[in-house]
A and B are shown apart, each in its own frame.
Chain A
Amino acid sequence: MTDRVVKLARLALLLALATVIHTAEGLLPITFVWFRFGFANIIGLATLDLFGFKDAVLVTLGRIFLGSMAYGLFGSPAFMMSFSGGACAILAMGLAHSFGAKIFSEIGVSLTGAVAHNMAQLAVAYFLVVRNEGILLLLPVLLLTAAATGFINGLAARFFVKHFRSLKGEKVGPDVL
């Protein structure tokens, strides 16, 4: 009983954190930061690592839903892109996490998620919004940003997980970097 309540409280905190990061990131001026860092995905990745796939899906889709509510964008094309990107990212990360646990660390899982996110967004943008082959010219740029943000987020997620576990009193390995 207590275990379940503790887990629920922790998941609620993670979801709240993810929503806040998601919403705050949307405030960045798009003129200078024309891509999303996807910092909210740090929380999704950490949840995947700490609680498993189901809860990670809940946290990721929950934060997109709540974030879109905060902006009043629910149901808009921007929400569709955000939603499909998030769903594909968490699916890909779940696969990479469960099947590639020996091969990839958090960084590899995060990279997979970032690439899946950007590709899904590009596909949705093409089919729902722009309908012009020209938008596919963005692919190389999106891949490069996915590589950069995926790497950074993976590293951040590792620190997050490590800190979270040490707060819980679990033994963790030595810090890197």
Chain B
Amino acid sequence: MINRLRTRAGMTLGDGILLCSIVFVALLSFPLMPRWMLPGGKVLEIRSGDKIVGRYSLNKHKLVKVPGRLGTTTVLIENGRARILSSPCPHKICCGMGDIGSEGSVLVCVPNEVIVTTNGEPAEDLDAVSR
């Protein structure tokens, strides 16, 4: 089919290779670009309702049980990424959100009021000085 399209559009072999490689690189860079560009988070912050349950390092393997409004949500931290393993909520949307790792990502379970965010290291130096 590609061959027929090529001859009908009058494309040379070089055109076809160029077009295919552009599309290939584009499709490849969809998943790769965010991983290269966004810095990985350092700290995982878990909130339940309006309380902070805890801050955990993303580098240490850990299973956190978070008490929420409906029950216990379990959060798995593994290889610098975190995901929600199980949750008492009816639709399990939070379990289907996949895993997060780059700075500023968030996992939310709305019914259970659990919010998991990744943060960078807290800034210690000054933003700017004016005098």
Interface residues, chain A, with chain B CB atoms under 8 Å away: 100, 103-105, 107-108, 111-112, 115, 133-134, 136-137, 139-141, 143-144, 146-147, 150-151, 154-155, 158, 176-177
Contact = CB atoms under 8 A, between A and B. Distances in A.
B15 A108 contact: yes
Contacts of A146: 22
Interface string B5-48: 00011111111001100110111011001100110000000000
Interface in B27-85: 27, 29-30, 33-34, 37-38
A143 B29 contact: yes
Rank and list the top 7 A-B pairs by shortest CB-CB distance, nearest first: A103-B14, A143-B26, A108-B15, A176-B10, A140-B29, A140-B30, A147-B22
B38 A133 contact: yes
Contacts, number: 71
A176 B14 CA distance: 18
A112 B18 contact: yes
Given A133-B37, A134-B37, A108 B12 contact: yes
Contacts of A136: 33, 37
A108 to B, nearest CB: 4
Given A115-B22, A137-B37, A177-B8, A104 B29 contact: no
Contacts of A176: 8-10
Interface of B: 8-15, 18-19, 22-23, 25-27, 29-30, 33-34, 37-38
Contacts of B15: 104-105, 107-108, 111, 154
Contacts of B27: 140, 144
Contacts of B8: 176-177
Contact of A104 (B14, B26, B30, B37): B14
17 contacts: A103-B12, A103-B13, A104-B15, A105-B12, A107-B9, A108-B14, A108-B19, A111-B22, A136-B37, A140-B30, A141-B26, A146-B22, A154-B15, A155-B9, A176-B8, A176-B9, A177-B10
Contacts of B19: 107-108, 111, 147, 151
A150 B20 CA distance: 13
A137 B34 contact: yes
A151 B9 CA distance: 10
Contacts of A137: 33-34, 37
Q: Which of A108, A134, A146 has the most CB of B within 10 A?
A: A108
Given A111-B19, A143-B25, A147-B19, A104 B33 contact: no
The residue among A100, A104, A140 with the most chain B CB atoms within 10 A of its own CB is: A140
Contacts of B22: 111, 115, 143, 146-147, 150
A100 B14 contact: yes
